[in-house]
A and B are shown apart, each in its own frame.
Chain A
Amino acid sequence: MKAQLKTLVAALAILFASAMLPAAAQYNNFNPTKEAVQEDKLLQQLKEGDRLSGRITIPDPKAASLIQPQGQSWRDFHQNKLPTIGGVVLLGMLGALVLFFLVRGRIKVEHGFSGKTITRFASIDRFAHWITAGCFIILALSGLNVSFGRMVILPFFGAETFAMISGYGKLAHNYLAFPFMAGVALMFLLWVKDNIPNKLDLEWLKQGGGLFVKGKHPAAGRFNAGQKGVFWIVISGGAVMSVSGWFLLFPYQAPDGIAGLQLMTTVHAVLAVGFVAAMLAHAYIGSVGMEGAFDAMGTGEVDVNWAKEHHALWVAEEEAKARSVPRNSVPAE
């Protein structure tokens, strides 16, 4: 029995060794010079958007990325492209508004104030507007600061103060994002029914909204084409800003890891610049640019003459509504 076992073991050993031989021979012929991974070649082989990565023993898969050349394109975007886009768009808009003011001046209520008012925005409307606007101003300032503050503001404050301001700015940016999103959603629900584009808007646009000719007021309902444009800019812009910002707030939910985050910051920043420019124009025409306009969002009561000039159809509608409620429905005593 013992001898038999010995023979079996020996036979197995021979079988095993013979099976190993070719592998060993192969190993001896392995040429590390020829086979070694070359950094140069790997970098050249990288396709757009690829990164050099491997396996890692640290329990953090993100650490497996060895070199991500996209960082350099992100840097180029942040340092060169974004300041150019931002400068052209924002300064361009400011310049255009100043020019417009100089040429057209403040748009007056042609027939003067009547003294009678009509309710344009109820308190819930104004609440939605101002919660969004208030958040937007702080979001815009802190966002612009984190992108351009180092170039524009830092020299005035010095590193410590500037870092402190930026730190609070970042906190504000992160948390005011939520009431901003809620405000945009509320405005959407409140006003979407009056912002569906229709034939009137084409006519309004054809006449340039009467912006450039004194005394010309194309007919408009509750919102004219320009206001509808602002509405849809705010809704769609707000939505994209919210989605991209959401991923920046919760960085590890972003698809495609760091590449996804780089894309989100790019979208967020470019759109933000356009958004701020659009809101500059909106704020201008709603305050300095037009007499009587601010009341709509201020007290919610606008002068009847202003309303008739800018929103004739809406005034007619409101008056019809008021008439349809039977007068004297409660008998006089």
Chain B
Amino acid sequence: MARVKFLCDADRCIECNACVTACKNEHEVPWGINRRRVVTINDGKPGERSVSMACMHCTDAPCAAVCPVSCFYTTADAVVLHSKDLCIGCGYCFYACPFGAPQYPKVGNFGSRGKMDKCTYCAGGPEEDFSTIEYEKYGRNRLAEGKLPLCAEMCSTKSLLAGDGEMIATIYKERVMKRGYGSGAWGWKTAYKETVAI
């Protein structure tokens, strides 16, 4: 099995937000929830870069570690998923996540956040593959269809890469060698305790 990862080549990202839109549309994500977002660093200054960020599907995921009801699990492809049936909406994963991935459908006064929602790497959830209930709770299961996450597949500049970690790291390395610069594999050190050595 592959160890799948996301890699955003920030030197290619043009902040078009197509990944954000694709994600929202593919999974019919409700208002207020953004499983993916694009953050622009040093906006308007020299060296400005935009980074598309979602759940990084960490090795030794902090969300899974702190969850009081142990609702997270890691698939054979190393995708971090969770069960909305078990989730009690306590917000602990949101405190622990370095990437701000966990989202809640409600504002959360009186602790009523609702069930946590986050990027599933287009891999659905614990329900049966392709079932209506899986789609309603977690969104499309593209991985089970043999496809990669839609955000990366439709990235117009191929800035956002998804797939086997080693393979996308190689692609990124080749790009950096060829063009002579790269702002780094954003989030890798935090999520995977390693970075792409060039």
A293 within 8 A of B: no
Are the C-beta atoms of A54 and B62 separated by less than 8 Å?
no
Are the C-beta atoms of A150 and B70 separated by less than 8 Å?
yes
By a CB distance below 8 angstroms, the chain B residues around A68 are 98-100
By a CB distance below 8 angstroms, the chain A residues around B40 are 54-56
Known: A60-B34, A71-B62, A258-B94. A33 touches B53 (CB 8 A): no
Query: Which of B39, B68, B182 is in CB contact (< 8 Å) with A54?
Result: B39
B125 within 8 A of A: no
Q: Closest approach, in angstroms, between the C-beta of B174 and any C-beta of chain A? A: 16
CA distance A62 to B62 in the complex (A): 19
A133-155 with Cβ < 8 A to chain B? 145-147, 149-150, 154
Known: A37-B48, A159-B86. A55 touches B184 (CB 8 A): no
- Digitize B80-119: 1 where CB-to-A-CB distance is under 8 Å, 0 elsewhere: 0000011111111011111110000001111110000000
B146 within 8 A of A: no
Stretch of B130-138, B147-155, B187-195 lying at the A interface: B187-195
A18-54 with Cβ < 8 A to chain B? 30, 32-33, 35-40, 42-43, 52-54
B46 within 8 A of A: yes
Query: Which of B111, B182, B183 is in CB contact (< 8 Å) with A248?
Result: B111
Central interface residue in B42, B70, B98, by most chain A CB within 10 Å? B98
- Of the four ranges (under 10, 10 to 19, 20 to 34, 35 or more), the interface on chain A belongs to 35 or more
How many chain B residues touch A (CB < 8 A): the figure is 61
Q: Closest approach, in angstroms, between the C-beta of B187 and any C-beta of chain A? A: 6
A166-182 with Cβ < 8 A to chain B? 166-167, 170, 173-175
Chain A at the B interface: SS class: helix
Are the C-beta atoms of B66 and A78 separated by less than 8 Å?
yes
Are the C-beta atoms of A37 and B42 separated by less than 8 Å?
yes
By a CB distance below 8 angstroms, the chain A residues around B34 are 58, 60, 63
- Chain A's closest residue to B50 (CB) is A54
- Chain A's closest residue to B195 (CB) is A40
Stretch of A199-207, A218-226, A249-257 lying at the B interface: A249-257
Known: A36-B181, A166-B69, A249-B110. A261 touches B88 (CB 8 A): no
- Chain A's closest residue to B33 (CB) is A60
Are the C-beta atoms of A74 and B182 separated by less than 8 Å?
no
Are the C-beta atoms of B184 and A39 separated by less than 8 Å?
yes
Central interface residue in A66, A154, A173, A258, by most chain B CB within 10 Å? A66
Are the C-beta atoms of B180 and A33 separated by less than 8 Å?
yes
Are the C-beta atoms of B181 and A33 separated by less than 8 Å?
yes
A65 within 8 A of B: yes
B3-46 with Cβ < 8 A to chain A? 10-11, 15, 17, 20, 32, 34, 37-43, 46
Binding site for A on B (CB under 8 A): 10-11, 15, 17, 20, 32, 34, 37-43, 46-51, 53, 62, 65-71, 85-92, 94-100, 107-112, 180-187, 189-190, 195
